[in-house]
Amino acid sequence: KNQVEQSPQSLIILEGKNCTLQCNYTVSPFSNLRWYKQDTGRGPVSLTIMTFSENTKSNGRYTATLDADTKQSSLHITASQLSDSASYICVVSAYSSASKIIFGSGTRLSIRP
């Protein structure tokens, strides 16, 4: 069964601290993995997209890693800001099927001043 599991479910950290969010998947055949940020009441916004051959990609203070062998990804946030408070969703796509774009349940991140 195609699945995307994220951990932790929720996380609270102090402003300025770093954090790492995890994503494990079983989607096959693998096409790409994306991390989205979803603010409350808004649609998801793309942060990074990685294919099989890429093992790291950065977007400002966000750095995503991908280990296609172990089927794991992480999203590292550096020097967190209050505006980073949001849900972070891992999305894994399989080739040849629109329905096989599987969303994780997300990690709810709260940044405290």
Partner 1 sequence: GAGVSQSPRYKVAKRGQDVALRCDPISGHVSLFWYQQALGQGPEFLTYFQNEAQLDKSGLPSDRFFAERPEGSVSTLKIQRTQQEDSAVYLCASSLGRAWNTEAFFGQGTRLTVV
Binding residues vs partner 1 (CB under 8 A) = 4, 31-32, 36, 41-46, 49, 89, 91, 93-101, 103-106, 108
CA distance readout (Å), 81 to 6, 27, 28, 36: 22, 32, 35, 17
Residue closer to partner 1 (CB basis): 42 or 112: 42
Residue closer to partner 1 (CB basis): 62 or 103: 103
d(C-alpha 110, C-alpha 7), whole Å: 14
Residue closer to partner 1 (CB basis): 14 or 53: 53
Q: Min. distance of Cβ 26 from partner 1 in angstroms?
A: 15
Give Rg (Cα) of the chain.
14
d(C-alpha 16, C-alpha 99), whole Å: 38
